[in-house]
Amino acid sequence: MTKSRGMAQGDKHGFAECASVATRHDPPSAAALSDPVLRSGGAGITAADPTSAPQHATAAFGEPAGQGEAAHALGAQGDAPGGCTASTTRNISRSFAQQATIHSGGVAGQTVKAVNAALPRDPAPAFVATKGEREGGRSRHGERAASAGASRRRARAPKDANGGPTAMVTSPSPALDLSIGPPAPALRGASHHAIPAMPQQVNPRSSARAWKDVDVAVRHDMRMCAEYVNEVYENAQVKQQKHRPNPQYMELHQRDITVSMRGILIDWLVEVAQEYNQSAETLFLSISYIDGYLSKARCVRSKLQLIGITCMHIASKYQEIYPPAITEFCYITDNTYDRDELIEMERKLLDVLDFKLSVPTTWMFLVRYLRVAEADRKTELVGMYLSELSLLEYALLQFLPAQVAAAAVMLALHHANQPHWTATLEHYTGYTPRGLRECAQILHRAHCNAKASTLPAIREKYAAPNLLNVSSLAVKDLKPELFDQPY
C-alpha cells in the first residue's frame, strides 16, 4: 500500500480542461395498426389495435444514454474510507415499458345481406333474396341470429311458381383477406446502415483446410451461448474498429506526459486492481478508457493519476458486481484527490468517450482463443501473462485487440512446445502466423525484457504459486522462420 500511495505524492499540479459533447437520441415510438377481420358466419368483427409505449433507457442522474450505449452512474457513494472492501452495487437503472391493447367486439343478429355486403361482390350474384323472404328470415331466425354463440346461419331457399323448391345456384366466393393492414412504419431513429464487412485476414486456402467445431461439446451448456457465440465475436471484431485509440496520440496530442509515464500509471493500476480484487476484464477496460481519453483530450502530468483512477472507477462500476466505493479510490491515492474532483473528472471522461463503455478488449478475445486452442492450465496462464504485458507496450496500440490476443496465444503455444498454430485457430481468429508476425515480435520482445523491467507489478503478480509462477519461466527463442512454417 505504501508503494501505491507513493505515486500520488509527486504529481499534483494543474490540469488542462477538456470538454466534448455527448450525443443523445430521442426514444422511438411505434404507430398503431387497426383493421377489422370478419369471422365465418357473420358472428362478429374483431379489430386489433396494438399500441406501444415509448421505450427509454435512463442512467443515473437522469441522463439518457447516448447511441444505445449504457451510461453508468456518476459518483457511487461510500461510507467506509480507508477500508479495502466495498458493498456498493451498480448504480444504473433501466426502464422499459411496452403495452398492447386489443379491442374486440361482436355484432350479433347479422343477416345474410349484411355479410354479403362486407364480402367482395361477384360480377353476377347467383341469388338475391326478396323482401318477404328477408322479413321471414328475421322473424323465424331472429333469436338464433341474436345468440352470440351461433356459428352458422340457415338461409331460406327460393321457391318456384308452383311453390316447390328450386335448385340454388352458387358461385365460389373469393377468399377473405385477413391481413391486418399495411406494414408498420420504421421506428424513428432506427439504423438502416449495413454492418461493415470484417477485414479479410484469412489465408484463401483456409476454406479447404479441416477445422474443428469447438462449440459442439458445450452446445447444451447455456452459459457458453454456443448457438450465437460466433455472432458475438463477429460483432466484436467489427466494433473494435470503431473504438480503437489513436496509436500516435502521445506524439500528436500530448505535451506534458510521455510513454514512460503511461507505463508507470498502468503498473500502478495493476496493483490497485489486485488490492481490491478486481477482475482482469476491469483492468483491461480501464486501460482502454485511458487510451481512448488521451487520444482526444490533452492532459497534464499532475492529473494523469486522477484520470487513471477515474477510469478504473468507471470500469469497476461497469464490470464488477460489488465495485469499490468512490472513497476507496480517493484513499488509494493517499487522498491526493477528493471526491468532488473524481466526480468532475468522471463527467469529463464520459463526455469525451461519448458514453461508449462497451469496448472489446484483448482479454475478451483471449478467453475465446484459448478455448479454441484447447490449451492446458499452464499455457492459459502464459497467454494471460503475455496479454497483460501488452498493456504496458505503447507500440502495440497500432494493432487491434483481437490481433494482440491471437499473437499472445500463438506465443503461449510456442512456449509450451506445442504446434504454434492450427487450422481451427485460423478459422476462428481470422489470422495466419504471417499476419501476426510484427505484433508477435513486439510482444515477444516485451516478454524477454519483463524480468529486467522497472515496472514489476505484472511480473510479481504472475510469480504467485497459484498462477504457477509462469513469469519466472525461461523465454523460448522466437525464430523468424516460425511464421512461414506449415501447420
Going by pLDDT thresholds of 50, 70 and 90, the confidence category of residue 429 is very high
The whole-number average pLDDT for the span 289-305 is: 96
DSSP-derived secondary structure for 117-176? HHSPPPSS-S----HHHHHHHHHHHHHHHH-TT----PPPPPB-TTS-B-PPP--PPPPP
Cα distances (angstroms) measured from residue 463 to each of 277, 403, 407: 17, 26, 22
Distance in angstroms (rounded) separating the CA atoms of residues 71 and 55? 16
Question: Among 21-30, 209-218, 346-355, whose mean pLDDT is lowest?
Answer: 21-30
Summarize pLDDT for 89-115 with one digit per residue, the tens.
Answer: 333 333 333 333 333 344 434 443 443
The whole-number average pLDDT for the span 43-54 is: 38
Distance in angstroms (rounded) separating the CA atoms of residues 41 and 119? 12
Whether 241 contacts 400, CB under 8 Å: yes
Residue 46 has pLDDT above 90, yes or no: no
Going by pLDDT thresholds of 50, 70 and 90, the confidence category of residue 307 is very high
Distance in angstroms (rounded) separating the CA atoms of residues 31 and 58? 23
Residue 175 has pLDDT above 80, yes or no: no
pLDDT for 208 equals 58
Going by pLDDT thresholds of 50, 70 and 90, the confidence category of residue 209 is confident
Q: What is the mean pLDDT of the chain?
A: 72
Whether 272 contacts 251, CB under 8 Å: no
- Residue position matching grid coordinates 340454388: 168
Whether 298 contacts 20, CB under 8 Å: no
Long-range CB contacts for residues 248-251, cutoff 8 Å, separation at least 24: 249/291, 249/294, 249/295, 250/294, 250/394
Report which listed range, 100-104, 110-114, 141-145, 440-444, is most confident: 440-444
Going by pLDDT thresholds of 50, 70 and 90, the confidence category of residue 487 is confident
Nearest to 315 by CA among 271, 363, 273: 273
The whole-number average pLDDT for the span 23-35 is: 40
pLDDT for 386 equals 98
DSSP-derived secondary structure for 60-76? GGGPBPGGGPPPPPSS-
Whether 360 contacts 404, CB under 8 Å: no
Residues 6+ apart with CB under 8 A from 124: 171
The whole-number average pLDDT for the span 13-19 is: 37
DSSP reduced 3-state for 180 = coil
The dotted CATH code for 361-487 is 1.10.472.10
Long-range CB contacts for residues 336-341, cutoff 8 Å, separation at least 24: 336/8, 336/9, 336/11, 336/12, 336/305, 336/306, 337/305, 337/306, 337/309, 339/75, 341/306
Where do the CATH 1.10.472.10 domains begin and end in the chain? Answer: 361-487
For residue 145, what is its C-alpha cell?
341470429
DSSP count for the chain of H helices, then E strands:
16, 3
